[in-house]
């Protein structure tokens, strides 16, 4: 076996992201106020540790493969100040790893916010806390207000990936080196560095969600799991998009990728009931000021057409721009099966009324996924 194949075989021993289930599941954004829903409706996630503990327990009971927090430092204004209250993602991951047994508990880290030597040591510590389950989600940084909190400028888009490439390369060396190392890069310089203990995994599983052409190359080179925004709902189109990404990673870097998406879910007694809940969340109670502030910071308002931008904003209000799972329990199961058939390995889930939605999912949807052989 190649070195990469050997590493993946080792990851399968401790990290559930590499387990055999056809459809892997996770929670998203449970360290921030609002989670993924930009709305003033009742039941939107509140950032309390009791809520973190409850949602983590539910994820553990259903053997979700992932619990993924955001790296966020400021809110987005509006009536909700969306994501304005936050638990820091690395300490979140350590604490949640200690109180769960099954999921891979992620941490999301913005490259400009932390030195790679410190990040590598913290990741190693969390990997030991969780028994080899940790996954690191690396973000190059897109919010000027967040990045400038750390005394760094927001770099031009492609340059962010140059810095991040050096950052993650150094971390991999720190995780795997048996001897003290010197590193002389353009952005990072380290002398006589040695990390003990080593991670339980060969080195922690890595995730990235870059979607530009530069980001795609960066993700295919370094990461095990990539999150992609789907360009539509047509199964053939989704399958082509997924296979194109996988083929690129194989041809350019000889690597196999796990491909995930994020989804928001509203289950109704009928389709009409689910649609009514959706309209209430988005059109009656949506905080469009905060949503537009966030989309503006993301820099995706131009040259997107007005129709596309409106649909994107709707999806951001309902669930961080994720894939829409709105309907009866049977329809939701059918949609998830379609995603699996199209080649998606897993999805992070959010619910506008987060805890009530997750409890209903546990009671009504998850058992059907097991019956379908997806879990």
Grade residue 141 by pLDDT with cuts at 50, 70 and 90. Answer: confident
Grade residue 301 by pLDDT with cuts at 50, 70 and 90. Answer: low
Element (H, E) at 324: strand 323-327
- What is the per-residue pLDDT for 303? 59
**Complete domains list, the chain, with CATH:** 3-371 (3.20.20.30)
- What is the per-residue pLDDT for 136? 98
Q: What is the spatial distance between Cα 116 and Cα 41, in angstroms, rounded to a whole number? A: 40
Tally: H helices and E strands in the chain: 14, 11
In this predicted model, what pLDDT tens digit does every residue of 153-198 receive, in sequence order?
888 989 999 999 999 999 999 999 999 999 999 999 999 999 999 9
Q: What is the spatial distance between Cα 307 and Cα 296, in angstroms, rounded to a whole number? A: 16
Residue with tokens 């546990």: 362
DSSP-based three-state secondary structure for 110: strand
Element (H, E) at 97: helix 89-98
Residue with tokens 């203990």: 197
DSSP-based three-state secondary structure for 121: helix
The whole-angstrom distance between residue 236's C-alpha and the CA centroid of its chain comes to 24
- What is the per-residue pLDDT for 77? 97
CB neighbour list of residue 359: distance below 8 Å, 6 or more residues apart: 58
Residue with tokens 């769960």: 100
Residues 352, 266: contact at Cβ < 8 Å? yes
Q: Which is more confident, 145 or 332? A: 332
DSSP string, 326-339: EE-HHHHHHHHHHH
In this predicted model, what pLDDT tens digit does every residue of 220-266 receive, in sequence order?
999 999 999 998 899 999 999 999 999 999 999 999 999 999 999 99
CB neighbour list of residue 156: distance below 8 Å, 6 or more residues apart: none
Grade residue 343 by pLDDT with cuts at 50, 70 and 90. Answer: very high
Q: What is the spatial distance between Cα 323 and Cα 55, in angstroms, rounded to a whole number? A: 21
Q: What is the spatial distance between Cα 108 and Cα 93, in angstroms, rounded to a whole number? A: 9
Q: Which of 114, 217, 302 is nearest to 123 (CA)?
A: 114
Reduce the secondary structure of 28-81 to three states and give it as a string. ECCCECCCCCCECCCCCCCCCHHHHHHHHHHHHHCCCCEEECCCCCCCCCCCCC
- What is the per-residue pLDDT for 306? 84
Mean of the per-residue pLDDT values for the chain? 95
DSSP string, 238-302: HHHHHHHHHHHHHHHH----EEEEEEEEEE-SSHHHHHHHHHIIIIITB-HHHHHHHHHHHT-SS
In this predicted model, what pLDDT tens digit does every residue of 47-102 receive, in sequence order?
999 999 999 999 999 999 999 999 999 999 999 999 999 999 999 999 999 999 99
Residues 147, 117: contact at Cβ < 8 Å? no
- What is the per-residue pLDDT for 304? 67
């Amino acid at each position: 076996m190649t070195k990469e194949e050997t590493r993946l075989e080792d990851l399968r021993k401790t990290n559930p992201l590499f387990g055999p289930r056809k459809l892997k599941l996770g929670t998203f954004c449970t360290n921030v106020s609002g989670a993924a829903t930009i709305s003033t409706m009742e039941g939107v996630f509140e950032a309390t540790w009791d809520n973190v503990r409850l949602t983590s327990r539910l994820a553990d009971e259903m053997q979700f493969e992932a619990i993924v927090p955001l790296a966020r430092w400021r809110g987005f204004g509006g009536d909700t100040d969306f994501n304005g209250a936050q638990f820091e993602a690395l300490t979140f991951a350590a604490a949640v790893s200690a109180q769960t047994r099954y999921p891979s508990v992620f941490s999301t880290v913005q490259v400009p916010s932390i030195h790679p030597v410190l990040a590598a040591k913290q990741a190693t510590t969390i990997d030991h806390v969780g028994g080899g389950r940790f996954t690191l989600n690396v973000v190059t940084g897109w919010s000027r207000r967040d990045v400038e909190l750390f005394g760094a400028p927001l770099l031009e888009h492609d340059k962010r990936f140059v810095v991040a490439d050096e950052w993650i390369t150094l971390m991999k060396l720190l995780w795997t080196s048996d001897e003290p190392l010197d590193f002389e890069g353009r952005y990072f310089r380290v002398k006589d560095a040695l990390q003990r203990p080593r991670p339980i995994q060969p080195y922690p599983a890595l995730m990235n969600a870059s979607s530009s052409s530069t980001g795609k190359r960066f993700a295919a080179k370094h990461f095990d799991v990539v999150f992609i925004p789907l360009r539509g709902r047509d199964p053939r189109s989704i399958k082509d998009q997924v296979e194109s990404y996988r083929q690129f990673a194989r041809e350019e870097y000889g690597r196999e990728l796990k491909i995930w998406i994020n989804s928001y879910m509203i289950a109704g007694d009928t389709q009409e009931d689910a649609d009514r809940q959706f309209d209430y969340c988005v059109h009656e109670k949506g905080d469009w000021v905060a949503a537009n502030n966030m989309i503006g910071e993301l820099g995706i308002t131009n040259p997107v057409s007005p129709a596309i931008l409106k649909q994107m904003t709707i999806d951001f209000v309902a669930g961080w721009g994720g894939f829409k799972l709105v309907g009866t329990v049977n329809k939701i199961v059918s949609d998830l099966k379609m995603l699996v058939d199209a080649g998606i390995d897993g999805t992070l889930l959010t619910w506008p009324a987060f805890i009530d939605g997750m409890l209903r999912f546990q009671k009504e949807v998850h058992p059907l996924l097991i019956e379908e052989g997806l879990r």
